[in-house]
Structure 1
Amino acid sequence: MSQPLNALVARVTERIAERSRDSRSAYLARLEAATATPRRQKLGCANLAHAFAACPAGDKEGLRGASKPAIGIVTAFNDMLSAHQPYEAYPAAIKEVVRQAGGVAQVAGGVPAMCDGVTQGYEGMELSLFSRDVIALATGVALSHATFDGALCLGICDKIVPGLMIGALSFGHLPTIFVPAGPMPSGLSNADKAKARQLYAQGKVGREELLEAESQSYHSPGTCTFYGTANTNQMLMEIMGLHLPGASFVNPNTPLRTALTDAAARRVVAMTQPGGGTPIGRIVDERAVVNGIIGLLATGGSTNHTLHIPAIAAAAGIHLTWEDFSDLSAAVPLLARVYPNGSADVNRFHAAGGMPFVIGQLLDAGLLHADVATVWGEGGLEPYRAMPELDGDGALSWRPSPTDQSGDPSVVATVATPFAAEGGLRVLAGNLGRGVIKVSAVKPEHRIVEAPARVFDSQEGVQAAFRAGELDRDVIVVVRYQGPAANGMPELHKLTPPLGVLQDKGFKVALVTDGRMSGASGKVPAAIHVTPEVKNGGPLGKLRDGDLVRLDAEAGTLDALVDAAEWDSRGAPPPASVDSSHGCGRELFGLFRNAVSGAESGASVFSLLGR
């Protein structure tokens, strides 16, 4: 059973609650007002007729009255994203299950869902982070008809789940369940894929060989199998109690996946009944947010969530800082080794015990708030120790997770024998600003790098210098003008192979940037999200080629080792040498670039949401 809450976790939670007292109270007051506002049964006759005009006769009759709950489906389906392709069949299946459960379901709306894997390294990637806030807006539009008693959100990938969350929290009075579709079966190993990329970066294999390796890795419907942002989203939804227990990593198009989706549809109908469940705005409180951070740290999840979790929290009136992440990291052990933090993929993680085992370990160590509300209902987080399965009759059931050892100790560890005593993310601070670093995949001998800087304004510049052999030395690569106000904060994922090659040659190498790295970033130390960003006068803009820089992930420092008087005398950097204002739709997002907040508050145009 769960142990008393760890004292540090309790202190951080209390600090967040006190900091957020006024904004959270204001949010809950709005939630109460929305709860008291009548929905479809009080609509005008023309309004209501519009709402069910296209429904089948039985659904139309149900929506004419007041007794049958109406469930809104918000879907991120498109069939270019492998992770979202399975959602094509979900609405029809959900509608039938909801009918059987005594309700009526309608597709309330669709939200955009771009694939970072397609846009990485190209202009479209500069729309990626902003797509999160577009998705939040689209979710708001979908639910604004005010005819629904509950909602199901269908989304998985990088910006989609955080965007759906932000939008859904604006309708926090509604019971809401997030419905995953699961990871694709394992293909080419992530290690072999990474090797192929490095060989291509060195010119040792051609495009056809690289494309074949990539095609064997990304080969079927489902989420990519490494532990990047998409799969970290699934972890987050489960540990925050917004999935059904154990639902995150069951493969698409399997009987168990279908059973879990059907169960979610039935459960949201039950949640609409008096006393049947807790609305999402009350589930996502300070305790649930802290649980989400702890899950991120314990599993070595994506650095993108140092942006997404604060943005999600703000939508519920909760104010986070990076100190909250950093302080919790000191108390949370690393319990998972999933690529890029290890060789296993998420299928192997799930087979080893996955989220139910990790949650059980954290509960038993007193590292999670056990007494939170969840979409499951009674019992707080305790039911999330169990793994879903189908019994001999094909019925969905849950079996308790073991408590002493996972199915594969090389992939999932116990709190007693963790892979590391502290979590996988750390905060850096110094005269270059504040940033974050993912250390769970970085070997201890690479966590402190002191080397001359080489400054670039684009990742294309870095790649050109690499190909020319100009980086074959100890070097800290600095890529500036990559923050949200400059160009939308694209991920610099294409820098991973060349920097990895340099490290493999024995050079001391690191990356420092006001931009992002992919959730798949790994062995090369990267100080990212450095804030204030250079576009807004951040000190990273003072760096010059040859300046000595020290990145110390152990001490949590990031400094230019430049004489103080010289440093203070330096003026603003020249304007960015790359124009990111037009092309590939970027001209549509000038308003976002002008309004976006800094990285620590979520890099969001909703930075004051909920306050």
Structure 2
Amino acid sequence: MTLDPRIAAVTDRIIERSRAGRRRYLDLMAEQAERGVSRQRMSCGNFAHGFAAAEGDKERIRTVSGPNIGIVTAYNDMLSAHQPYYRYPEQMKVFAREAGATAQVAGGVPAMCDGVTQGQDGMNLSLFSRDTIALGTAVALSHGMFDGAALLGICDKIVPGLLIGALRFGHLPMLLVPGGPMPSGLPNKEKQRVRQLYAEGKVGRDELLASEAASYHSPGTCTFYGTANSNQMMMELMGLHVPNAAFVQPNTPLRQALTRAAVHRLAELSAGGQRSLAECVDERAIVNAVVGLLATGGSTNHAIHLPAIARAAGIILDWEDIDGLSGAVPLIARVYPNGSGDVNDFHYAGGIAVVARELLGAGLLHGDVVTAGAEDIAAYTRLPELDGDTLVWRDPGASRNQTMLRAVSDPFLPDGGLRLVAGNLGRATFKTSAVDPARWTVEAPARIFSDQNQVLAAFGAGELDRDVVVVVRFQGPRANGMPELHKLTPALGVLQDRGHRVALVTDGRMSGASGKVPAAIHLSPEALGGGPLSRLRNGDPVRLSAEQGVLEAVGVDLASRDPAPPPPPPAGTGRELFAMMRLAAGDAEHGASAMLELMDQDQAGATPADAMAAP
């Protein structure tokens, strides 16, 4: 199928804009492949330290008898999604030996859960944990002991962080190895109903906790289609998993067979130095990830993560690119919170295999990308299963559930549902795919807050029981680390259900589970530092329109006003330790990363003082 000209035009624009940065990146990777740190170039003392404790594999590593795979793991047993990784390293070492390779745990990275920290002080660390994970990945791979790497991570900031760090070692072949979702628990509509009843004071904490515990109940990824599961979809369409490994449940024979296949594939690639990560993650792969995100109604957080991932590979992706692709890509999946079924239902219906087949067939994906997990992207149109003890991939057939997964010729919506809105308040992301089109335009007086708990207090006091644009400012990366404000969803949903025209405008994030309330999020420039949002006042009329791509304070001369004073810097719960990341963070459209901002400026020859002052 010929590539859709709209997809081609955006890809060409990204390639042209990225030409210089991509060339520098590829030159660095070529230099690292030729002269970088590796087992063959180490001194004997260095090398001996690297295999001293390699029980069972010491002689093979010492004599360089086959490739050595580095495992970077985000295991902990507090996160349901990462608890299954506990046994992976020992299993993977066995699988590596089967393929004539060895494996060592190169290092661990932190993995925090937004579900645990939502609305808590710890959420201020969440986005910057991505940079911390990237740095931890770099430390793990810096030893030079490895010919390839397996990255064990699933959730929100963890996959982007692993990938950003790994891309600085992009001369090596790599795969991500998923763990799979937990079985479905309490139906999502029932969970949503109880949350709204609690927001209205109609049920108590015991009822709410029972509902939540019935939803999040066992090892595996949470089953709603938020950032974690959007991560998994993107890794599939970038060719960085073995095909359709994303949504097979933990602790099953098929799950283990897919992990085994990933190790065998990685051993094959590492033995020949084939399909390096840098070769796989190019402009076409980034576009494929965006297309998949749009076609499935994925997480708004990736409007931040994808530009950051791209930047780590020398590629410049911006929100106009995402908006342009959104106009070309139809919405063909509705997975909770955009629909009633969860990712288990989605996978049973045909899942990513059907999505990949439909998008490829319509010319909406680059079919010529270099894939690590299989020979080509067409392999991702088939679902894995066990035929006895043999792992096979088969055609999924037509969608088994037309209410959640459809053909491109019969989409739920004609576009992908991530819109750029802009005006005198700045630039922001609006996710339309979960919002009733009748609510895509809201114009109402602003009510301004600097903390989501203030919003909930005003809601409880009845002060928001009207048409209102709720503005939550000083939530950007430089102000407090850009937390998600998902705690607001039930209260704003109640107001909307009462018949009011309601919208949210914020320089913070909403959630990978952004729901039915219209929201302009990730607003840039952020309020801290005199951004337009800091000059808005209570009662100012604000217009938000996805149809028109507009976000503006109507008839207001913002430039003539003084900015509102910001709250004090966050402290406690370790937040003060992240001051460097806050002070140096870039804007949301370019990835909201201090690490990448400083890296680019350092490579351009900026002084430390200049680099810290640049944003």
Could you tell me the TM-score, scaled by structure 1's length?
A: 0.97
Contact 1:301 1:424 in 2 (8 A): no
Contact 2:540 2:556 in 1 (8 A): no
Q: Which residue of 2 aligns with 1:587?
A: 576
1:51 and 2:50 are equivalent in the alignment: yes
Could you give the per-residue CA deviations for residues 522-562 of structure 1, whole angstroms, max 9, x where no partner exists?
00001000000000221111111111111101111001113
Aligned residue among 363, 373, 382 for 2:360: 363
Contact 1:580 1:586 in 2 (8 A): no
**Alignment of structure 1 residues 590-609 onto 2, 5 Å:** 590-608=579-597, 609=599
**Alignment of structure 1 residues 71-220 onto 2, 5 Å:** 71-220=69-218
- The CA deviation at 1:68 is 1.6
Q: Which amino acid aligns with 2:512?
A: G
CA distance in 2, matches of 1:606, 1:542: 29
CA distance in 2, matches of 1:539, 1:483: 13
Contact 2:532 2:559 in 1 (8 A): no
**Alignment of structure 1 residues 285-296 onto 2, 5 Å:** 285-296=282-293
Contact 2:239 2:374 in 1 (8 A): no
CA distance in 2, matches of 1:29, 1:42: 20
Q: 1:568 to 1:536 in 2, by over 3 A?
A: closer
1:460 and 2:453 are equivalent in the alignment: yes
Aligned residue among 28, 31, 48 for 2:29: 31
Could you give the per-residue CA deviations for residues 395-436 of structure 1, whole angstroms, max 9, x where no partner exists?
10000232xx31111110100000000002111001110000
Q: Which residue of 2 aligns with 1:551?
A: 544
1:409 and 2:406 are equivalent in the alignment: no
CA distance in 2, matches of 1:563, 1:463: 27
CA distance in 2, matches of 1:537, 1:292: 34
What do you get for the CA RMSD once the two structures are aligned?
1.0
Aligned residue among 435, 441, 444 for 2:437: 444
CA distance in 2, matches of 1:50, 1:374: 34
CA distance in 2, matches of 1:568, 1:28: 43
CA distance in 2, matches of 1:324, 1:14: 11
Q: Which residue of 2 aligns with 1:426?
A: 419
Q: Which amino acid aligns with 1:552?
A: S
- The CA deviation at 1:446 is 1.1
Q: Which residue of 2 aligns with 1:398?
A: 393
Could you give the per-residue CA deviations for residues 561-589 of structure 1, whole angstroms, max 9, x where no partner exists?
1344xx3321111222xx34310000100
Q: 1:7 to 1:580 in 2, by over 3 A?
A: same
Q: Which residue of 2 aligns with 1:574?
A: 565
Q: Which residue of 2 aligns with 1:66?
A: 64
Contact 2:242 2:373 in 1 (8 A): yes
**Alignment of structure 1 residues 271-420 onto 2, 5 Å:** 271-274=269-272, 277-378=274-375, 380-391=376-387, 393-402=388-397, 405-420=398-413
- The CA deviation at 1:377 is 4.1
Q: Which amino acid aligns with 1:376?
A: G
- The CA deviation at 1:201 is 0.7
CA distance in 2, matches of 1:185, 1:110: 27
CA distance in 2, matches of 1:64, 1:184: 40
Contact 2:471 2:506 in 1 (8 A): yes
CA distance in 2, matches of 1:546, 1:371: 53
CA distance in 2, matches of 1:466, 1:155: 37
CA distance in 1, matches of 2:159, 2:234: 10
Q: Which residue of 1 aligns with 2:524?
A: 531
CA distance in 1, matches of 2:546, 2:41: 58
- The CA deviation at 1:24 is 0.3
- The CA deviation at 1:192 is 0.9
The alignment partner of 2:466 has SS state of coil
Contact 1:336 1:411 in 2 (8 A): yes
Contact 2:66 2:271 in 1 (8 A): no
Identity %: 62
- The CA deviation at 1:64 is 1.0
- The CA deviation at 1:42 is 2.4
Contact 1:41 1:65 in 2 (8 A): no
CA distance in 2, matches of 1:31, 1:238: 23
Count how many residue pairs are aligned between Structure 1 and Structure 2. 599
CA distance in 2, matches of 1:462, 1:325: 30
The alignment partner of 1:453 has SS state of strand
Q: Which amino acid aligns with 1:477?
A: V
Could you give the per-residue CA deviations for residues 2-58 of structure 1, whole angstroms, max 9, x where no partner exists?
x100001111111100100010001000111111126112211111111011111x4
Q: Which amino acid aligns with 2:473?
A: R
- The CA deviation at 1:607 is 3.2
Q: Which residue of 1 aligns with 2:4?
A: 6
The gaps in structure 1 that reach 5 residues or longer are none
Could you tell me the TM-score, scaled by structure 2's length?
A: 0.96
CA distance in 2, matches of 1:6, 1:53: 54
Contact 2:471 2:505 in 1 (8 A): yes
CA distance in 1, matches of 2:252, 2:548: 47
The alignment partner of 2:422 has SS state of strand
CA distance in 2, matches of 1:258, 1:5: 36
The alignment partner of 2:166 has SS state of helix
Aligned residue among 477, 480, 484 for 1:487: 480
Contact 1:83 1:221 in 2 (8 A): yes
Contact 1:333 1:420 in 2 (8 A): yes
The gaps in structure 2 that reach 5 residues or longer are 604-615
Contact 2:6 2:328 in 1 (8 A): yes
